[in-house]
A and B are shown apart, each in its own frame.
Chain A
Amino acid sequence: MSNMVEIRWHGRGGQGAKTASLLLADAAFNMGKYVQGFPEYGPERMGAPITAFNRISDERSTVHSNIYEPDYVVVVDATLLTAVDTTGGLKKEGAIIINSNKSPEELVPLLDGYEGRVYTINASNIAEEELGNRNFPNTPMLGAVVKVSGIIPEEVFVKDMEESFHHKFSTKPHVIDGNMKALKRAMKEVKGL
C-alpha cells in the first residue's frame, strides 16, 4: 500500500506513549483516514520500555502484526536510545523524533549509524511549563510528530485536537489551554537535522 505511513513509538510505562498513538489515530481518523493504533502488550509496569504503533492510510490495512520497517520512530524517553534498538528497520527516507533537551547533532552518535532525518523536541520541558508536570510529554510529542511527518495538515490537526480536548476534559476546562499551548509550542520548537 503505497500511501501507508507506519509509526513506531518507544516510551516507558506511564509516559503515555500508548495514549499518544491512540490520539494520533483519532486525529487521522477525523480527517478521513483509515487508522490502526495499538500497543504491544507485555508485563506492563511503570518505567519499563513499551512500544506502540500506528498505521495510517487511505485504504484499510489488513495487516495485524507489529511494525518492523516504520516510516517514523518517536522516542518519548531519550534514555531508551541506549537501551532499545529504536532505529531498527527505520526507513532512511523517514525520520526519528526524540524527546530531549539536546540538539539532533548531539544525539546522532547514539543512533547506530541511522542515515535519515533526526529531530529533537524538549517535550518534557514544554509539559512542565504548560501542564505543570514533565511526566506528560505525550501531547507535545504528538505535535512534533504531526509537524515532522506532515500526515495531517497543521491547521486541521490543531482544530481537531482542540475539539477533542474540549470533549476529553469537559470537566477540567483549565487543562485544555495548557494542552493546546503545549501542542502548538512543540510544532514550532521541534528541531531537525
Chain B
Amino acid sequence: MGIRERLSGNEAVATAMRQINPDVVAAYPITPSTEVVHYFSQYVADGKVDTEFVAVESEHSAMSACIGASAAGGRTATVTSACGLALMWELLYVASGARLPITLAVVNRALSGPININNDHSDSMGARDSGWIQLYSENNQEAYDNYIMSNRIAEHKDILLPVMVCQDGFITSHAIENIELLEDDKVKKFVGPYNPGFSLISGKPTSVGPYDTVPFYFEHQYQRARAMVDSKKVILDVFKEFGQLTGRNYGLFEEYRMEDAERAIIVLNSSAGTAKFACDTLRAKGEKVGVLKLRVFRPFPMEEIAKAVSHLKAVAVMDKCDSFSAIGGPVFGDVRNSCYGMSNGPQIINYIYGLGGRDVRVEDFTFVYENLDEIIKTGKTGEIYRHVGVRGV
C-alpha cells in the first residue's frame, strides 16, 4: 500500500517531479501551472532535489533550455499552460525531431483570445501534431501516475520521443482530493537511472539539430513517425509494470460500463468522472450507456478504439477544444477516422463542450445520452457537429 494523502493536481505533479529528481528543470510560470514551478523551486531551494533549476525569461526559452539540457544528456522536465505552450510551439517540434525524451506537465487552459485563464484543451490539442506523446489525466491520481510513467516511455531506446502529461487547469490542478502516493524509493527504482544513448557531453563527438538535407530529412521524419506508432506497445508495457507495482492498472483508454452498452460518450480528462456519474444514474434506470475515457491521445489507439465501439449503436465524442475546421473537434476526427469502413458501426456525433472554463455538469452528459437515444430511435443522425453548454444554441 502506498501513502494516503490529499493533494491538488499541481501538488501531485510537483511531488512526482521531486521523487523523479530530474537533472534539469527549466520553466517559466503561467496560470494555472504556476504552482508546480513554485513548489518545485522550493524543493530545489530546500535541497530536496539536486536538480539544476533554470529560471528562464519565457516559455520559448524554457523549451530551448530543455532541448539543450536533454541533448547534453540530462533527464529534463518542464511545466506550462495555454499561451506558454503556444510560445513553445517552434521548439516542441525541435524537441521531438531531435528525439529528446523531455517530459512536460501541461495544465490545460484555454488559448487567447479573448484572454481566458480557465480550462479547456485548446493548448495541448493544438500541439497534437508536434510529435509528442500525449497522456491525459482524469484526476490528481492519474496526473501523478502518468507523470511517473512518462520518463520510462520517453526514454525507451526504441521511442525517444518527448511526453506531455495533461490535466485540467483549476478543475483538478487546484482541487484537493484524496490520492495514493508511492514511497520515494519505489518511484526512484521504477523510473531508474537515465542513460542516454547519445549526448553532447558523452566524450563521443555528436551533432544535435544540424541542417537536415533533402537526402535525409524525409527519412528522419519517417523514423519519428514510426517511433510514435511503436510507442503504443512501450506505453502498454510501462502501464503494466506500473500496475504490478501499485495495483492501479491503466490502458490506452478506460472502458466504463461499456460491455453491454448501446450508447457511449468518449471523453478525456476531468469531465470523464462527471460523465461516469451521469452514466451510473442512467444505468440505475436500466439504460445501456457507457463511457470511454481516452488516456493516450498520441499515439492514437486506432484499432483499439474501433474494436471498443464496434458493438455500439451511437457514440458522442466530446471535444473541449474547437478546431474551427467546420468538421468538428480533434478527438472526434480521430475517432471517426478509426471507425471508417466498419460495417454496422455506430452513428458518431461530436459535441464541443466546456470551452474557457464553462462548468461541465452531470446534466450535460445526461442531455448527450438523451440525444444519442433519439438518434437510435429515429435512425437519423442529424447534425454531426454540435455544441453543449453554450448559450443560445
- Residues of A whose CB lies within 8 Å of any CB of B are 22, 25-26, 29, 34-39, 41, 60-66, 68
Chain B residues touching A, range:
20 to 34
> Quick one: which of B252-286 are within 8 Å of A by CB?
270-274, 276-277
Q: In the complex, A149 Cα to B178 Cα: how many Å?
A: 21
Chain A min CB distance to B180 (Å):
11
Closest Cβ neighbor of A24 among chain B residues: B176
Q: In the complex, A37 Cα to B361 Cα: how many Å?
A: 17
Chain B min CB distance to A147 (Å):
22
Rank and list the top 3 A-B pairs by shortest CB-CB distance, nearest first: A62-B273, A38-B175, A64-B270
Closest Cβ neighbor of A39 among chain B residues: B174
Q: Establish whether residues B362 and A63, one from each chain, have CB atoms under 8 Å apart when the complex forms.
A: yes
Q: Establish whether residues B118 and A41, one from each chain, have CB atoms under 8 Å apart when the complex forms.
A: yes
Chain B min CB distance to A17 (Å):
14
Chain A min CB distance to B288 (Å):
20
Q: Establish whether residues B362 and A65, one from each chain, have CB atoms under 8 Å apart when the complex forms.
A: yes
Instruction: Report the tally of A-B residue pairs with Cβ distances under 8 A.
Output: 63
Chain A min CB distance to B254 (Å):
11
B32, B176, B361: the one contacting A65 at CB < 8 Å is B361
Q: Establish whether residues B273 and A64, one from each chain, have CB atoms under 8 Å apart when the complex forms.
A: yes
B6 at the interface (CB under 8 A from A): yes
B168, B175, B276, B277: the one contacting A36 at CB < 8 Å is B175
Q: Establish whether residues A35 and B361, one from each chain, have CB atoms under 8 Å apart when the complex forms.
A: no
What are 15 inter-chain pairs, A to B, with CB distance below 8 A? A25-B6, A26-B6, A29-B6, A36-B176, A38-B171, A38-B174, A39-B174, A41-B118, A60-B178, A62-B138, A63-B362, A64-B172, A64-B271, A65-B274, A66-B361
Chain A min CB distance to B366 (Å):
12
Residues of chain B within 8 A of A36, CB atoms compared:
175-177
Known: A26-B6, A63-B273. 14 other contacts (CB 8 A): A22-B176, A34-B177, A38-B175, A41-B118, A41-B170, A41-B174, A41-B357, A60-B177, A62-B277, A64-B175, A64-B270, A65-B361, A66-B359, A68-B361
B71 at the interface (CB under 8 A from A): no
B375 at the interface (CB under 8 A from A): no
B168, B171, B177: the one contacting A35 at CB < 8 Å is B177
B360 at the interface (CB under 8 A from A): yes
Closest Cβ neighbor of A33 among chain B residues: B178
Chain B min CB distance to A33 (Å):
8
Q: Establish whether residues A37 and B175, one from each chain, have CB atoms under 8 Å apart when the complex forms.
A: yes
Chain B min CB distance to A63 (Å):
5
Q: In the complex, A47 Cα to B357 Cα: how many Å?
A: 22
Chain A min CB distance to B365 (Å):
10
B372 at the interface (CB under 8 A from A): no
Q: Establish whether residues A29 and B178, one from each chain, have CB atoms under 8 Å apart when the complex forms.
A: yes
Residues of chain B within 8 A of A68, CB atoms compared:
361
Q: In the complex, A29 Cα to B6 Cα: how many Å?
A: 7
Q: Establish whether residues B6 and A65, one from each chain, have CB atoms under 8 Å apart when the complex forms.
A: no
Chain A min CB distance to B267 (Å):
11
Q: In the complex, A22 Cα to B357 Cα: how many Å?
A: 21
Q: In the complex, A148 Cα to B59 Cα: how many Å?
A: 48
Q: In the complex, A37 Cα to B179 Cα: how many Å?
A: 13
Q: In the complex, A60 Cα to B138 Cα: how many Å?
A: 13
Residues of chain B within 8 A of A65, CB atoms compared:
274, 359-362
Q: Establish whether residues B178 and A35, one from each chain, have CB atoms under 8 Å apart when the complex forms.
A: yes
Chain B min CB distance to A51 (Å):
11
Most buried by B among A29, A37, A41: A41
Q: A62-B276, A64-B270, A64-B271 are in contact. Are A25 and B117 (CB under 8 A)?
A: no
Chain A min CB distance to B367 (Å):
13
Q: In the complex, A61 Cα to B171 Cα: how many Å?
A: 14
Closest Cβ neighbor of B171 among chain A residues: A64
> Quick one: which of B340-393 are within 8 Å of A by CB?
357, 359-362
Q: In the complex, A62 Cα to B174 Cα: how many Å?
A: 15
Residues of chain A within 8 A of B359, CB atoms compared:
65-66
Residues of chain A within 8 A of B172, CB atoms compared:
64
Chain B min CB distance to A20 (Å):
12
Residues of chain B within 8 A of A37, CB atoms compared:
175-176
Q: In the complex, A29 Cα to B178 Cα: how many Å?
A: 8
Closest Cβ neighbor of B279 among chain A residues: A62
Q: In the complex, A65 Cα to B275 Cα: how many Å?
A: 10
Residues of chain A within 8 A of B174, CB atoms compared:
38-39, 41
Q: A22-B176, A37-B175, A68-B361 are in contact. Are A62 and B118 (CB under 8 A)?
A: no
Q: In the complex, A26 Cα to B138 Cα: how many Å?
A: 21
Residues of chain B within 8 A of A63, CB atoms compared:
273-274, 277, 362
